[in-house]
Structure 1
């Protein structure tokens, strides 16, 4: 640090000690004073005290309170929702926000209990695996009907799975979750065999995901592509209407009498209806909770979490989401990120703890690897691999022949160290700006483009990027196959590292087929280590859903991927 930096830093330390600045404000104030990012990072490291950690109590917010009093049936709950799904067909969707809504309309075949790690009954009551590990036999729940009156049976499951494989359906997620699926044999109306070409360890976990929930064959055939606008399932709520870019209304299924194991009562849902209002702008969404237009929202402004935790008129819930964290895949097939030294230097050059706390006010932890920490098989060893170390980043680039030019940007063989970074606007764009600033200090020129999804997806598929973004929730580490297997570079393009890697593919395939739980965890530990050793992704933050609700909304508890089970929700009467 220069003398000027030191004087400015001492002033900030005194202010931080008095609790006058949050971590985010410290970064902003430091930049305003002319401190470099590396100086700010040193300051943060030197003052990592309780005064800097005045953020929300994550543990308290995750200890979800029990409902108060006896449930009162009836009424409407308005959900302010931060994203509008592109489709409500679970077979097609690739959107986490849609997956969370699906559980209210569709029932899964099995339920995954995150606390115990066990699989519990959904629409399937029992299951077994054949000796050759290729056939799952399921006993199905009796007396279940779809919302259109179609009986739920083995044919409905077979139809759902087989239709997912139809190329015309354009399935994004469900088709991958079926893995090496071969066929479904209907033994009798309530018994099925699901047959695979090879062992497939994550199948039960995938079945607990809403994208493999059975759909009404009758409605799906009649509606065709329009099924995603008029979904029909077996769940506790019936789809009523969807006003595009405004709202969606779900009404209670009066015949619902087959609660899945995740639910906490029997019979129909308590609420008459759930109205989902799509409010994309974050401040507006927050305002609807505060003015009473929304009873519950899924994206409390992070800077408001602490305030609401201290207000008895509101409740805050912060469920952590397993799967992949928000990450920045690096294009290993395009210069200069085809150079592993450049990729590793990027990781060392970023003070991710500061970046994430600046963005999220302590409500989300910085990610450390390709899996979020709540995920089965998470490897804590990755947490030690890439500490913030700008000197190490500089050494890697120097040794690789990247020399600083007169303007501070590194060059090699006449080429500038130029990176194309594509992302969304909003908080993703804010993250991009901080990443851009850190990489500039390391001598990397970053062209940050904040674009709409369609343009971004096309650019990713074409491989025009050096730095991409992706996020994918899942309770099973098989999500790493989705994001890093070579077969997912074309088509869905969930693998945005863009370079085929036969060694990684073989590791992923072996882990997918491994049915011994301990051996499978060991394999995924090795996969995470390999991904980080190759430096093909930059972990950003682990997803935590910032739910806020008014005090009278009771019975709130959460799906494994962070959505609310509205079946058990009720309004406390005054």
Structure 2
């Protein structure tokens, strides 16, 4: 089976393309619900993270030396550059300034969130990426591929003219090294391990050919490869401790991508510059500055003043931005849900009745109205409606039914025996913490949910921390009780990485034998009708019968950016758009 057939086998249907067509325009939100204002006052005020400055001297290498600056450098609002027009109206040159929330890890195997993926997309490439029009898997470092008749051997033919930033050639050995470390080396704190329980071996055929050998057929394999999985250099990282090698992870990454690292100022900014030798040609924008701005309100303010050029905003931000003639907005769907994760391994959430009560006990539509003005879609299951062929449209959201929630809790033995307003059982109160960061959506979900749960007799405490801390110390370690967070996933309904009981990516320690069976069968067949049947039942169980979490809504992504920025793909969400950063350009 050749490349084009592989894509057809796994691509999103044209209906998906139409449904996810970006809709441009301004959205005017008159105001947030009064309930939100009252509830928000009950929660703590988020504070910007304090980032300890670390100053390190970079060792001279064959590439242009990365400079770590001891004093913080003010990122200029306006940079004087020479902008060169090219054919077709595209201009070359200029500096783009993008806000970040915290310091990053450059190592693509260890990435912990969107910040890491944004900057990694400028520095590295993957084997495949999603087509900017159709979301189909399309070439990146691999120029073509085929799969064997038994669907167990995928052969990738690599581009022959790719070089690392230090001039060394990119080969199949780098691909094997990346997946050997990321999937098979259990000592590596890898983010790419969980999608590949069926990967048996990565085999080098020659310098420009690599094979992935599977234990059994894996229907979404090629789609998973396109999901922010970048290849790292064997000649730099071999023999190093991947988890702690900060020379690469924090200071001086070597990639194959359209940009090279230029400057690292921990706690302040990162600067990348155009790679003149990029395999697809020199990128249009000369310099990108990733500026650390932890406070979301400050990020919005700097978007207005022109100190930063683009940002993802939420509906409450729009009244302050909508009339700015220097800004434009893309409003589009995103394969994402917001939820309150529940750690199913620990009390009280090891009890299905408590998890059901958590779901019946909140009014999702009220939360949606308060946060988005009702412009987002209340969630019915973990599979996004944008994956139309697999989405179970027969399901409705959990109704708001506090009486049923209280009855479920009482059925499990939770009663207020001492009249203090808090349910207890065997002498222990029903108390737990909801973790959140200072993101306006995640924080407000947690704040509002806290009030709903208190009305049920639950002592829900809100604990707010910096995003990086939440992810590193709690999300990736499963060290939490409840957590307000979001999940982004590839354009395929296979969610084994998140829900399979044996998966390292099962962050809520969810275990359900029928779900395991459904997900396993869904991975192993390429028959769409069969997969549709399996995933619809999967949504019924995880969404309603035996919920793993409290799903809230599917958001719309609002991309706000300077009118001068051109060339961003309109069919891709913001995170995926960074895979085409070499095509962006500035009309100024």
Report the TM-score range of the alignment, normalised by the length of the smaller protein: 0.7 to 0.9
Is 1:215 the counterpart of 2:228 in the alignment?
Answer: no
Match of 1:174, SS?
coil
Aligned to 2:357: 345
Q: Does 1:281 align with 2:295?
A: yes
Check the 8 A contact 2:129/2:137 in 1, yes or no.
yes
Q: What corresponds to 2:257 in structure 1?
A: 235
- Deviations along 1:396-438, one digit per CA (max 9) or x if unpaired, are 3455554456344445565544344333345333322211111
TM-score for the superposition, normalised by structure 2: 0.77
Q: Does 1:388 align with 2:405?
A: no
The answer to whether residue 501 in structure 2 is matched with residue 514 in structure 1 is: no
* Structure-2 separation of matches of 1:313 and 1:283: 19
| 1:422 matched to 2:422 | no
> Which residue of the partner structure matches residue 179 of structure 1?
197
* Residue 498 (structure 1) aligned to one of 506, 509, 515: 509
User: Higher relative CO (CA 8 A, sep ≥ 6), structure 1 or 2?
Assistant: 2
Query: Compared with structure 1, are the counterparts of its residues 572 and 429 closer, same or farther at alpha carbon in structure 2 (3 Å cutoff)?
Result: closer
TM-score by length of structure 1 reads: 0.78
Aligned to 2:150: 132
The answer to whether the Cα contact below 8 Å between 2:434 and 2:483 also exists between their aligned partners in 1 is yes
- Residues 1:572 and 1:348: Cα distance change in structure 2 (over 3 Å): same
Quote the offset at 1:195 in angstroms: 1.1
State the distance in 1 between where 2:518 and 2:270 align. 43
Query: Partner of 2:174 in structure 1?
Result: 156
Q: Does 1:72 align with 2:72?
A: no
Helix, strand or coil at the partner of 2:151: coil
Deviation at residue 29 of structure 1 after TM alignment:
6.5
Q: For 1:146 and 1:507, how far apart are their aligned partners in 2?
A: 42
Q: Following the alignment from structure 2 to structure 1, what is the Cα–Cα distance between the partners of residues 150 and 131?
A: 26
Question: Is residue 2:536 matched to residue 1:525?
Answer: yes
Larger CA deviation: 399-408 vs 131-140: 399-408
Deviates most, 159-168 or 249-258 = 159-168
CA deviation after TM superposition for structure 1 residue 569, in Å: 1.6
Name the counterpart of 1:38: none
TM-aligned CA distance change 1:136 to 1:426, over 3 Å: closer
CA gap of 1:222–1:345, structure 2 versus 1, over 3 A, is closer
1:53 maps to which residue? none
Please tell me whether residue 143 in structure 1 is matched to residue 161 in structure 2: yes
1:73 deviates by 0.8
* 1:46-65 alignment, distance < 5 Å: none
Superposed CA deviations along residues 228-279 of structure 1, whole A, max 9, x for unmatched, are: 2322222211222221111111111112243xxxxxxxx3211111111111
Equivalences, count: 506
Matches within 5 A, 1:365-514: 365-375=377-387, 378-381=390-393, 383-400=395-412, 402-403=414-415, 406-412=419-425, 415-427=428-440, 428-451=442-465, 454=469, 465-477=480-492, 480-488=495-503, 494-514=505-525
Residue 193 of structure 2 aligns to a residue whose secondary structure is helix
Mark the CA change 1:194 to 1:339 in structure 2 (over 3 Å): closer, same or farther: closer
Distance 1:348 1:465, change over 3 A: same
Aligned match of 1:26 in 18, 22, 34?
Answer: 34
Residue of structure 2 in register with 1:119 after alignment: 137
* Aligned position for 2:325: 312
Partner of 2:12: none
* Higher mean C-alpha deviation, range 237-246 or range 472-481: 472-481
In 2, Cα distance between the equivalents of 1:466 and 1:222?
37
Distance in 2, Cα, partners of 1:272 & 1:459: 38
Provide the C-alpha distance between the structure 2 equivalents of 1:115 and 1:309, rounded to a whole number of angstroms. Answer: 27
**Aligned counterparts of 2:123 and 2:255: Cα–Cα separation in 1:** 6
- Of residues 74, 93, 96, the one that matches 2:114 is 96
- Alpha-carbon distance in 1 for matches of 2:294, 2:307: 15
When structure 1 is superposed on structure 2, of 227-236 and 513-522 the one drifting more is 513-522
Kept in 2, the 8 Å contact 1:282–1:299? The answer is: no
> Closer, same or farther in 2 for the Cα pair 1:480/1:166, shift >3 Å?
closer
In structure 2, list runs of 5 or more residues that go unmatched. 1-27, 41-85
- Structure 1, unmatched stretches of 5+, are 1-19, 33-66, 259-266
For residues 240 and 375 of structure 2, the distance between their equivalents in structure 1, rounded to whole angstroms, comes to 42
The DSSP-based 3-state class of the residue aligned with 2:312 is coil
Instruction: Report how far residue 160 of structure 1 moved.
Output: 2.1
Change (3 A) 1:333 1:210: closer
Change (3 A) 1:445 1:184: closer
Of the three residues 240, 246, 249, the one matched with 2:271 is 249
